[in-house]
Chains A and B, each alone.
Chain A
Amino acid sequence: GQQVMQIPQYQHVQEGEDFTTYCNSSTTLSNIQWYKQRPGGHPVFLIQLVKSGEVKKQKRLTFQFGEAKKNSSLHITATQTTDVGTYFCAGDRNQFYFGTGTSLTVIP
């Protein structure tokens, strides 16, 4: 069954508001990757986190990997309409599991 869960499943925000999605695993992960899928599109790789407590930034996006390597988060500051899409985390333990995804809608 699914071993990597994401919350929330859906999020609607006003343009300019912040957004956060959380990824939780029942087991310790070797690393975690984040992907973005635009509506009607395919997943596109954003970033990989490997170290416990690691924080990485890409412009308005901040990615964190938990100290226990069981959870991760993606935070977007001041959302824009171009941020619309579904964000997936994907964790590696023995197999590479994708989370259920968080669908982000940005209202102009």
Chain B
Amino acid sequence: NAGVTQTPKFRILKIGQSMTLQCTQDMNHNYMYWYRQDPGMGLKLIYYSVGAGITDKGEVPNGYNVSRSTTEDFPLRLELAAPSQTSVYFCASSLGPSGRDNSPLHFGNGTRLTVT
């Protein structure tokens, strides 16, 4: 099993450009998440999904959009990129709700995004 796969690994965007970060998992997990990690900070939840067709905002959703058309895929869309979105983005999945029923998060390798 590949687990959680994220693409691209690195990306440089100019201010105002748009892009989609791809995330796919092959563990048949219902729950998927997008986090961002800034230097010296913990991970902050951007959006999450409890199943295909269902998404909800996390702690820092502004400037991002998501969709969940299949169980496997959970892309993150950045519209009108801003320097404040320079960060490392991690996609994760879990069998059950995060923190419940012993459902650990499985993370992808991350996407390092720079907006200049």
Contacts and interface: CB of A to CB of B under 8 A. Distances in A.
Interface residues of A, number: 25
Nearest to A100: B42
A101 B45 contact: no
Classify the interface of chain A: helix, strand, loop or mixed: strand
A99 B42 contact: yes
Nearest to A40: B110
A96 B45 contact: yes
Interface in A26-48: 30-31, 33, 35, 41-45, 48
Contacts of B109: 41-42
B102 A48 contact: yes
B108 interface: yes
A73 B43 CA distance: 19
Interface in B93-116: 98-100, 102, 104-110
A21 to B, nearest CB: 13
Interface stretch (A11-19, A58-66, A75-83, A86-94): A86-94
Given A30-B99, A31-B99, A100 B41 contact: yes
B27 to A, nearest CB: 13
Given A42-B109, A91-B99, A92-B99, A48 B42 contact: no
Q: Contact size class for B? A: 20 to 34
Given A9-B40, A42-B109, A92 B100 contact: yes
B58 interface: yes
Nearest to A50: B102
Contact of A101 (B42, B102, B108, B110): B42
A42 B100 contact: no
B90 A43 contact: yes
B40 A100 contact: yes
Interface of B: 35, 40-45, 58-59, 90, 98-100, 102, 104-110
Interface of A: 2, 4, 6, 9, 30-31, 33, 35, 41-45, 48, 88, 90-92, 95-101
13 contacts: A4-B42, A31-B99, A42-B107, A42-B108, A48-B104, A90-B99, A91-B99, A95-B45, A95-B58, A96-B45, A98-B35, A98-B43, A99-B42
